[in-house]
């Protein structure tokens, strides 16, 4: 049997890039599809051919199966790799591929259909003898049925979308009074994400670990498992850091859970790559679901096994047998994957959109790998998942791999958008994580440590920023002077020379919304940086070459990478990122004029629910409105008690970032 000559990748971003790289290594030509927004994307430039399939919204491009199949026919692609998300677990699309004579690089249609329904999959698992979490998986979807079943199961319960995954359409309910609202929200989110609002209920295990098994099967009757991954670190039911193998599990349990995963795959005559997910608590494990595709976190399995799972997918789809048997598989060392997102942990992980003005990942080597689909200068769009990259590290043991993760996160530089890098670094440095004290409640339990209250920027950092602004102004002045008749005129000097006045330079920086006044006093042997509400810092040996700032502050040498964007500055040093900008009094006056009673859209999105009426009295933190953006729902709450003076939008409206939604009177 021979591999394909040409394949189409029906996806975007880092997974499309990932598939293209393996395909090219195997000598397979690739076809990329893209939306209008992704015309200049990395995966488009890497592919041998690329075809636009529609406007930016996924429903008008990446979810258009008929358009993708048309591209496959026109380009002569023999197979389609769906990646993950979009159409990867869409049984009708897999069926359409088969009818068109194009190989779908994924499992059989029936396996997708059964495992795509959490209710159906649990019924099949019961027959296969795979242990389940107590729950309700029935067809009745009325509120009364859910109420009675939740009472039977016992609170807390998990309301969960039957279709899809990724934490969408999922709510934890701790009391009966909250069930109705949770069901309504889960149905809305599930319908928007999967076009299916069928729900199920499960007993919510309070301190479980999330352990999943990578399985692989071919068309010749072979099925194996490639060990396990621990994905317990989650927020809003979405994975944050994954590792392989799962730490602190007895070897006998590893074997039992692996064999249960194989039994689950065999129960649906599975073919290709799949992941069987379990909850592990009290020494027992319970089936949650099976993802009938390659997982986002598959690289940690690749790192400990030395195998390329995309290559395995291509070979199995082409009719070959699995490259290895269960007995031939070995694992070595330990691996972590951290998901880098454009989001703000300080604002409930609100996604960020905009341009990546600076993107510098750590150096890649056998210990450090970066999977990404973006480059410096690219946009993070409102239309797609805000993932920037996956950082994967490996070493001989967990302690060494964790140290590599901390170092690699400290070396990762991103400017232009708020990211979760420091949040990831806080997890990697947390003593409880290092001690393997992990479960799905880890982040919430240690939230105060992982997302501390914002503190004032230290004087040393303000001094470095002030010196950087000064040196940039000096460089700009010298560049401008070269074009003048007298380039040596003292009027172009910014080194402290003044006529009949003190030698100093004043500036005001906006630091996390706070105004910081700074004066640089010029001395014959260097500078003094006076922070008006802090201490004076002595600076000497200051240089700025390209983006690298070097300065001795109070006798200690500091180095930092500086990125300018207009009047803004991003400073990277000591594994942390600091952002500040020159103060603009006019913009600040407009901001103050807006008042605290204006609730504005934090990002572009759609209004899916308005929870208050004009004239209604509201309490502080009371939900006002729900906006759906980037495939997730975001609840906007009242910043203080008051009365709803004006509703500016209605359910179904599309809104842009910064648009006023609600006005409150105090």
Active-site residue list = 293
Tokens coding 348 = 């409930």
Alpha helices in 241-392 (DSSP H): 251-267, 298-305, 309-317
Identify the residue whose tokens are 């590893």.
254
Return the number of other C-beta atoms located less than 10 Å from residue 372's C-beta.
19
Count the Cβ atoms, other than its own, within 10 Å of residue 612: 18
Q: Distance (Å, rounded) from C-alpha 373 to C-alpha 364?
A: 15
Residue closest to 412 by CA, chosen among 205, 285, 576: 576
Task: Assign 155 to helix, strand or coil.
Answer: coil
Partnered with residue 50 across adjacent β-strands are 32
- Residue 316 has a CB neighbour count (10 Å cut-off) of 24
User: Of 302, 298, 367, 368, which is closest to residue 331 (Cα–Cα)?
Assistant: 302
Distance separating alpha carbons of residues 374 and 497, to the nearest angstrom: 45
Residue 70 contacts by C-beta under 8 Å, 6 or more apart in sequence? none
At 171, give phi and psi (nearest 5°).
Answer: -145, 140
Residue 36 contacts residue 52 (beta carbons within 8 Å): yes
> Mapped to the 3 state alphabet, what secondary structure does 183-216 carry?
HHHHHHHHHHHHCCCCEEEEECCCCCEEEEEEEE
Q: What length is written for the chain?
A: 666
H or E stretch including 593? helix 585-594
The answer for residues whose C-beta is within 8 angstroms of residue 565's C-beta and 6 or more apart is 357, 415, 416
* 103-104 sheet: strands from edge to edge: 49-54, 29-35, 6-9, 79-81, 103-104
Q: Which residues contact 57 (CB under 8 A, 6 or more apart)?
A: 35, 383
Residue 8 main-chain phi, psi, to 5 deg:
-110, 135
User: Whole-angstrom Cα distance, residue 26 to residue 18?
Assistant: 13
Q: In angstroms, what CA-CA distances link 563 with 423, 460, 463, 511, 523?
A: 21, 17, 16, 16, 27
Count Cβ atoms below 10 Å from residue 431 Cβ, excluding itself.
9
């Amino acid at each position: 049997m021979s591999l394909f000559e040409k394949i189409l990748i029906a996806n975007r971003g880092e997974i499309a890039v990932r598939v293209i790289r393996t395909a090219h290594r195997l000598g397979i030509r690739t076809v990329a599809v893209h939306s209008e927004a992704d015309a200049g994307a990395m995966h488009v430039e890497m592919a041998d051919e690329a075809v636009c399939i529609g406007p930016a919204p996924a429903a008008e491009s990446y979810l258009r199966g008929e358009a993708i199949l048309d591209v496959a026919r026109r380009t002569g692609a023999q197979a389609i790799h769906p990646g993950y998300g979009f159409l990867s677990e869409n049984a009708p699309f897999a069926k359409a591929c088969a009818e068109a004579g194009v190989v779908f690089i994924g499992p059989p249609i029936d396996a997708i259909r059964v495992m795509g329904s959490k209710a159906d999959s649990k019924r099949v698992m019961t027959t296969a003898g795979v242990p389940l979490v107590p729950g309700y998986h029935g067809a009745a979807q009325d509120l009364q049925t859910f109420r009675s079943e939740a009472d039977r199961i016992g609170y807390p319960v998990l309301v969960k979308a039957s279709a899809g995954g990724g934490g969408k359409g999922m709510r934890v309910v701790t009391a009966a009074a909250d069930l109705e609202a949770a069901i309504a929200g889960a149905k809305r989110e599930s319908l928007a994400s999967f076009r299916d609002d069928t729900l199920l209920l499960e007993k919510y295990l309070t301190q479980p670990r999330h352990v999943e098994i990578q399985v692989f099967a071919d068309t010749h009757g072979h099925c194996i498992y490639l060990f396990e991954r621990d994905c317990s670190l989650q927020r809003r039911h979405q994975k944050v850091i994954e590792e392989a193998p799962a730490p602190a599990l007895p070897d006998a349990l590893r074997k039992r859970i692996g064999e249960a995963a194989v039994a689950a795959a065999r129960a649906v005559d599975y073919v290709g790559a799949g992941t069987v997910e379990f909850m592990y608590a009290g020494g027992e494990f319970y089936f949650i679901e099976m993802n009938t595709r390659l997982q986002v976190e598959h690289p940690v399995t690749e790192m400990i096994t030395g195998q390329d799972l995309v290559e395995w997918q291509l070979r199995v789809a082409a009719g070959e047998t699995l490259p290895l048997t269960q007995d031939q598989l070995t694992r070595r060392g330990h691996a972590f994957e951290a998901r880098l997102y454009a989001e703000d942990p300080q604002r409930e992980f609100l996604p960020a959109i905009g341009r990546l003005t600076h993107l510098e990942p750590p150096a890649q080597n056998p210990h450090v790998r970066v999977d990404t689909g973006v480059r410096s200068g690219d946009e993070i769009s409102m239309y797609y998942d805000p993932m920037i990259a996956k950082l994967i590290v490996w070493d001989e043991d967990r302690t060494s791999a964790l140290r590599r993760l901390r170092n690699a996160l400290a070396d990762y530089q991103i400017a232009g958008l708020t990211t979760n890098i420091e949040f990831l670094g806080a997890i990697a440095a947390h003593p409880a994580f290092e001690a393997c004290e992990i479960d799905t409640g880890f982040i919430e339990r240690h939230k105060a440590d992982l997302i501390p209250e914002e503190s004032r920027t230290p004087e040393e950092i303000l001094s470095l920023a002030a010196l950087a602004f000064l040196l940039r102004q000096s460089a700009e002045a010298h560049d401008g002077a070269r074009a003048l008749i007298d380039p040596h005129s003292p009027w172009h000097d910014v080194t402290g020379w003044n006529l009949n006045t003190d030698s100093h330079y004043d500036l005001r920086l906006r630091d996390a919304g706070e105004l910081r006044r700074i004066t640089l006093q010029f001395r014959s042997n260097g500078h003094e940086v006076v922070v008006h509400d802090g201490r004076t810092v002595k600076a000497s040996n200051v240089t700025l070459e390209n983006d690298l700032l070097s300065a001795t502050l109070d006798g200690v040498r500091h180095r930092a990478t500086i990125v300018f964007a207009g009047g803004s500055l991003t400073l990277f040093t000591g594994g942390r990122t600091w952002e500040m900008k020159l103060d603009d009094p006019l913009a600040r006056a407009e901001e103050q004029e807006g008042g605290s009673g204006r609730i504005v859209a934090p990002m572009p999105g759609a209004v899916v629910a308005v929870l208050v009426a004009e004239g209604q009295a509201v309490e502080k933190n009371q939900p006002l409105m729900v906006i759906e953006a980037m495939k997730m729902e975001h609840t906007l709450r009242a910043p203080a008690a008051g009365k709803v003076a004006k509703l500016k939008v209605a359910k179904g409206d599309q809104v842009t970032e910064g648009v006023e939604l609600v006005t409150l009177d105090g």
